[in-house]
Amino acid sequence: MDRILIRGGNRLSGRLPISGAKNAALTLMPCALLTEEPLTLRNLPRLADVDGFGHLLNQLGASTAIQGTRPEDFGRVMTIRAGNLTSTEAPYDIVRKMRASILVLGPLLGRGGEATVSLPGGCAIGNRPIDLHLRALEAIGAELEMAAGYVKAIAPGGRLPGGRFRFPIVSVGATENVVMAAVLAKGTSVIENAAREPEIVDLCNCLVAMGASIDGIGTETLTIEGRDRLHGATYAVMPDRIEAGSYACAAAITGGDLELVGVAIPDMGATIDALVEAGVSVTPTRDGVRVASDGQLKPLTLSTAPYPGFATDMQAQFMAMLCKADGASVLTETIFENRYMHVPELARMGGGYPGTRADRGCARGGQVGWGAGDGDRSAGFDELDLGGVGRGWRDVCGAGLPPRPWV
């Protein structure tokens, strides 16, 4: 999608079902590599990344089948069967298109005793090195070799022994990889300072449904007793907290009233707290949460942080929303060093400007005008948010538009 044309000035209202979480879906799909039996995932979002990850699983020997959905299903239903792994290599031409492909490293190593995965390419919003993935896998017994842009991991004797590792900093992807590798280890693995994001909890719950033994789910210390084998399961992907938060910002910025159906309120604590502090009404309902605003917003000072802190993926949307606040807001980015590509465009529209430090951006209330596109998916949504409140037509263009079903 290269261009979206928006006519602003309309109030958003109604009911919106929330899709399955992309970040959870791309973590749950490689779990199918851990068993010969089928894994059926419900509520999968309709995303190109999901299709791409399915293609990668096909390359490794797994079959994927999209099933018909029931009336109560909003997302897709996919059954993945990895009866016989025909390859343990994830090639560069696939991994370079989708960084989440690195998440096959742990499952392939855990089940097959070896894995060869291309090093992922760069990322527009900042560096995402995989050194913590490799250090964690080494700690539970993997032997690693780097050559020609690939990492090859081997489990001595065909099976990881288990071990203990403490992350020096929180890493969501590395936590996911080492957990998937450890569930089929011979012994016990203890992971300290593990990421606590809801997507990590969703992964652990899925693995437990498949027969894994994981203690401490939702805490910073995970204790994993390796199993000889896992079995198949049927599991529903958690709702997307970032999608829900983005819609909430859109409701707030247009003075709207939306019921977000299927929202897991406990997963959105920091986002909801910030919305309420900004003067937005957030009320639980039987089916989710209602977000309403009269358009009178208060300025905020926010800083991104690992969960349960304020999510970096919500920073751009909040900056757009706070451009309509009565006063100046300050947002500090602590996760990714290049996540302010939206600021120049917001400035062109009369709302955002750089802070006094490289990790800080500001939003000021002002007359919303016009602008162009940028290169960050969350930032693409913030321009859609702000375009929705301005008067007249707004043309948002560029490769950075968010390729998600909720746009």
The b-or-e profile of 132-163 (16+ CB within 10 A means b, else e) is bbbbbbebbbbeeeeeeebbbbbbeeebbbbb
Of 103, 106, 104, 85, nearest in space to 36 by CA = 85
Q: Report percent pLDDT > 90 for the chain.
A: 68
**123 flagged as catalytic:** yes
* Total H helices, total E strands in the chain: 12, 22
CA distance to 54, 172, 365, per residue, from 163 (Å): 31, 19, 52
* pLDDT, tens only, 333-351: 888 766 667 676 777 776 6
Predicted local confidence at residue 135, as pLDDT: 96
Specify the higher pLDDT residue, 123 or 257. Answer: 257
Across 4-8, 74-78, 270-274, which has the greatest mean pLDDT?
Answer: 270-274
Give me the mean pLDDT over the 11-16 stretch: 95
* pLDDT, tens only, 162-218: 999 999 999 999 999 999 999 999 999 999 999 999 999 999 999 999 999 999 999
Predicted local confidence at residue 75, as pLDDT: 86
H or E element in which residue 386 lies: helix 377-389
Degrees to nearest 5, angle at CA 251 with 293 and 289:
85
Give me the mean pLDDT over the 293-314 stretch: 94
Give me the mean pLDDT over the 274-290 stretch: 98
Degrees to nearest 5, angle at CA 274 with 272 and 278:
115
Specify the higher pLDDT residue, 279 or 331. Answer: 279
Predicted local confidence at residue 126, as pLDDT: 42
Q: Single out the catalytic residue among 123, 249, 362, 397.
A: 123
- Alpha carbon distance 384, 132 (integer Å): 35
- Alpha carbon distance 56, 259 (integer Å): 36
Give me the mean pLDDT over the 219-229 stretch: 98
pLDDT surpasses 50 at 240: yes
pLDDT surpasses 50 at 377: no
pLDDT surpasses 90 at 9: no
